[in-house]
Structure 1
Amino acid sequence: MTTRTMDEAAKVFADPSAYADDDRLHAALTWLRANNPVAWVDQPPYRPFFAVTKHADIMDIERANDLWLSEPRPLLATAEADDLAKAQLEAGMGLRTLIHMDDPHHRKVRAIGADWFRPKAMRALQGRVDELAKHYVDKMAEVGPECDFVTEVSVNFPLYVIMSLLGLPESDFPRMLQLTQELFGGDEEEYQRGSTPEEKLQTLMDFFAYFNKLTQDRRANPTDDLASAIANGRVDGELLSDVDCLSYYVIVATAGHDTTSHAIAGGLRALIDNPDQLDRLKGDMSLMPLAVEEMIRWTTPVKEFMRTAAADTEVRGVPIKEGESVYLAYVSANRDEEVFDDPFTFDVGRDPNKHLAFGYGVHFCLGAALARMEINSFFTELLPRLDSIELAGAPELTSTVFVGGLKHLPIRYSLR
């Protein structure tokens, strides 16, 4: 039997609070990339896994989607939460989104929403996104000269965009925000509904109750929105199962705005922390598409996904047995010294920028184009009107092992 020893630095992967401490996190990741790029992690309450920290290895795993499967462990969760999720699915409930699925079923289900995120659809949505960007910059001007940028701006702007795409009433937006923060913030004391998996599961049940009612309405009265496309979507001629349909709503309604919110807030903080880059971008707005990619790389809102080996294999010479899991450390990949020149320098003109913040391969983020559009629109509206900006307090990051970023960004500013 092979004896596996856990590297002290690898404990960060099983510690949600590590993601609220950039210095600690990146010190560990940098060491692992150089010394132990496929690190064994055996740290309760999680089941064991290998943490993969190099950009090239993560891309290789994402390419080989027939060898490395999303099921049954698509993301890092406690053993107790994994068991509860499995039991719920076996009972015809639970969550089975695109990130949980493998081909060929994944490809067929993904196609239901794909047209809503293609270039033609994005061009049709551009005006609404620009309008909302102006609304929230105007709001900054109204509430200034200080605000908590996260709670007052960055969580709301992408939320309004995705809720508009789904066709949901504005009165429901605050509820969707709360449920999203509870779902993704299960490790964050400020957001979590409860501490046990059963308590956290209630958030999912509330999502399902809301979207079950929406499904029945859209099937009886179809409209021209993404919610109707999901409710009436078919795979092999059959309507989506209740689990797949409701899970589709959940992933669009949550990942469709929460990740973008973190990128916008983290992007603004990076500009504040790097005033030379802020001045450079304000002086040459043609750099905006490159700056958007750098903000996404810098923040990497989705910290990880996991894959399980369908057969005995190896990664960088490390043997991995069928049924064992790997953790794809996107945060580490996006600071890989072999891929990015000066990876710890925020550079609004970085080109090329082969970040993995949207994943890679068949699971590449469905809403990537929308996220890029929103970030671009917001900063294109903000920067020409921005005379000055600085921190008005200490920024705070969420404790998480999955999706996260800034939960508070107090700023002081002057807008014209």
Structure 2
Amino acid sequence: MATQPFTWSRDTIDDRIVNPEVYTEPATLLADYAALRRDDPVHWTQPSGYRPFWAIMRHADITAVSKANELFINRERTYLSPIEGEQWILQMTGDTHLFRTLVDLDDPEHRKLRQVTHSWFQPGTVKKNLEPKVRQIAREHVELMRAKGERLDFVNEVALFYPLRVIMEILGVPREDEPMMLKLTQETFGALDPDVIARSQILTENSTLWGRSTGDKQVDLLQLAQIFFQYFAKVIADRRANPRDDVATVIANGTIDGQPIPEREALSYYVITATAGHDTTSSSAAGGFCELAKNPAELAKLHADPSLIPLFVEEAIRWTTPVKHFMRTATEDTILGGKTIRKGDGLCLFYLSGNRDEAVFDEPDVFRADRDPNRHVAFGHGAHLCLGMHLARLELRILFEELLPQIKAVELDGEPKYSYANFVNGLKTLPVRVTWA
């Protein structure tokens, strides 16, 4: 039977909260989130072309689900995907995942894999081993930014490349391979973004990938995964033969229950570290800098008291919430927010909605560089709390410690644009005019 063409809909709130185009319009998206938090915060959602699921919109419910790791599992359904996309992945891989990363797995596999690099990403280790190196990288990028003059695109000339350089340094990836890694990351998280597609050579046509059977070109995620795996297979072989002091060596030589990490899990470990390790941090850096450009009074707070920069970093992370959702599946019947969740039901944790929850944050739609406390859920919660969060915080703090003293003022120099994606999403252009000190 011929596959019916799939098109993204905006007809209902259920359709809009999964539609990647709506994620390019924050005001529309946040209005829908606010309506659901107010009227139906545990919402049975039936978007066109998707399996239905419960949309979890409030901070308290997101944290409750995140802490109950045996009741709500990851392995059945990790990301929002149309039915045809899910079927495609099942056909290609034999299970529900393109990769087998930490975010795709449950305990005990998740815990054992996480433990392999756990010590590398602890706050004391990050500060001791990485802060001098990260600060030098930050200074290099601030100097490059100054060399651009007064007008520049902060995303494409600074924010993308600084965290990329840091995470590639940690992985031991040579500098000449960084442009390739950046391109692969953008194609992973922006497979349907028209701008990404226009630059990509890893394309397929007439595919049902991610539910688009319209004949449009799109990034071929299977080929993308194969390129990642081929690259990191060489890294594994090298680090086993020539170990170094880097995370790549730790993963290559890591063991679980006395045996080497299985190949697919090891390769996926590299992919999640290389991609999520820089794309999310660049989104927070850009989102925070955008708000300083819009709100001179917030920049003035940081100029007057640089010790506020760590609070500003947390607010930038809350405000942008680069990872917009993760999925869970109920393993038994339960009650959440007054609703009966049945065994096998999917739940989508909408982190950005949780981070604008009026019950938790005073004036949540106002950016405050000195917001304190700031109990955001941008890094998740519970057992799957982001492994790299301490590194992300360090990178952002150091970047703005190095950058802000050199800036008198900054303002927007055009309309910022957001990426076309409902999973990992953020600014893809940020034109600014900088007055340098």
- Whether 2:187 is the aligned partner of 1:182: answer yes
Comparing 209-218 with 369-378, greater Cα deviation is found at 209-218
SS of structure 2 residue aligned to 1:191: helix
The residue aligned with 1:297 is 318
- Whether 2:46 is the aligned partner of 1:73: answer no
Q: Is the 8 A contact 1:7 1:40 kept in 2?
A: no
Per the TM alignment, residue 110 of structure 1 is displaced from its structure 2 partner at its CA by 0.4
CA distances 1:62-120 after superposition (whole Å, capped 9, x unpaired): 01000000011011122222223233333899411000000111000001111111123
- Whether 2:171 is the aligned partner of 1:166: answer yes
Q: Is the 8 A contact 2:74 2:105 kept in 1?
A: yes
Per the TM alignment, residue 204 of structure 1 is displaced from its structure 2 partner at its CA by 1.3
Percent sequence identity is: 45
Structure 2 letter corresponding to 1:217 = D
Runs of 4+ in 1 over 4 A off after TM superposition: none
Q: Structure 1 residues 92 and 407 mapped into 2: Cα distance closer, same or farther (>3 Å)?
A: closer
Q: Structure 1 residues 93 and 336 mapped into 2: Cα distance closer, same or farther (>3 Å)?
A: closer
SS of structure 2 residue aligned to 1:16: coil
The residue aligned with 1:405 is 426
SS of structure 1 residue aligned to 2:75: coil
Q: Structure 1 residues 94 and 23 mapped into 2: Cα distance closer, same or farther (>3 Å)?
A: closer
SS of structure 1 residue aligned to 2:47: coil
SS of structure 1 residue aligned to 2:17: helix
Match of 1:349 among 367, 370, 382: 370
Per the TM alignment, residue 148 of structure 1 is displaced from its structure 2 partner at its CA by 0.9
Runs (5+) with no aligned partner, structure 2? 1-9, 210-218
Match of 1:120 among 96, 121, 124: 124
The residue aligned with 2:306 is 285
Per the TM alignment, residue 7 of structure 1 is displaced from its structure 2 partner at its CA by 9.9
The residue aligned with 1:144 is 149
- Whether 2:220 is the aligned partner of 1:215: answer no
Per the TM alignment, residue 10 of structure 1 is displaced from its structure 2 partner at its CA by 2.9
The residue aligned with 1:231 is 252
CA distances 1:159-205 after superposition (whole Å, capped 9, x unpaired): 00000001111110000000000001113111144464282221111
CA distances 1:342-368 after superposition (whole Å, capped 9, x unpaired): 101111111110000000000000000
Per the TM alignment, residue 241 of structure 1 is displaced from its structure 2 partner at its CA by 1.0
Structure 1 letter corresponding to 2:89 = A
Q: Take 1:212 and 1:186, find their aligned partners in 2: how far apart are those partners?
A: 23
Per the TM alignment, residue 132 of structure 1 is displaced from its structure 2 partner at its CA by 0.9
The residue aligned with 2:214 is none
| TM-score w.r.t. length of structure 1 | 0.96
The residue aligned with 1:372 is 393
Per the TM alignment, residue 45 of structure 1 is displaced from its structure 2 partner at its CA by 2.8
Q: Is the 8 A contact 2:123 2:391 kept in 1?
A: no
Match of 1:263 among 274, 281, 284: 284
Q: Take 1:384 and 1:199, find their aligned partners in 2: how far apart are those partners?
A: 43
Q: Take 1:298 and 1:119, find their aligned partners in 2: how far apart are those partners?
A: 23
CA distances 1:202-255 after superposition (whole Å, capped 9, x unpaired): 111111111111111112222211001111111101111111000000000000
The residue aligned with 2:350 is 329
Q: Is the 8 A contact 1:298 1:334 kept in 2?
A: yes
CA RMSD in angstroms comes to: 1.7
SS of structure 2 residue aligned to 1:173: helix
1:390-401 aligned at under 5 Å gives the runs: 390-401=411-422
Match of 1:20 among 20, 24, 28: 24
SS of structure 1 residue aligned to 2:365: coil
The residue aligned with 1:338 is 359
Q: Is the 8 A contact 1:92 1:243 kept in 2?
A: no
Match of 1:316 among 337, 342, 347: 337
Q: Take 1:325 and 1:15, find their aligned partners in 2: how far apart are those partners?
A: 18
Comparing 216-225 with 337-346, greater Cα deviation is found at 216-225
- Size of the aligned set, in residue pairs, is 411
The residue aligned with 2:405 is 384
Q: Is the 8 A contact 1:85 1:95 kept in 2?
A: no
Q: Take 1:15 and 1:7, find their aligned partners in 2: how far apart are those partners?
A: 11
Per the TM alignment, residue 46 of structure 1 is displaced from its structure 2 partner at its CA by 2.2
Runs (5+) with no aligned partner, structure 1? 1-5
Q: Is the 8 A contact 1:14 1:46 kept in 2?
A: no
The residue aligned with 1:64 is 68
- Whether 2:99 is the aligned partner of 1:99: answer no
Q: Take 2:106 and 2:158, find their aligned partners in 1: how far apart are those partners?
A: 36
Structure 2 letter corresponding to 1:200 = L
Q: Is the 8 A contact 2:137 2:162 kept in 1?
A: yes
CA distances 1:126-154 after superposition (whole Å, capped 9, x unpaired): 01111111111111110111111111100
Q: Take 1:32 and 1:38, find their aligned partners in 2: how far apart are those partners?
A: 8
The residue aligned with 2:262 is 241
Q: Is the 8 A contact 2:49 2:82 kept in 1?
A: yes
Structure 2 letter corresponding to 1:290 = L
Q: Is the 8 A contact 1:390 1:413 kept in 2?
A: yes
SS of structure 2 residue aligned to 1:144: coil
- Whether 2:204 is the aligned partner of 1:204: answer no
Q: Is the 8 A contact 1:9 1:31 kept in 2?
A: no
Q: Is the 8 A contact 2:77 2:96 kept in 1?
A: no
Q: Structure 1 residues 92 and 12 mapped into 2: Cα distance closer, same or farther (>3 Å)?
A: closer
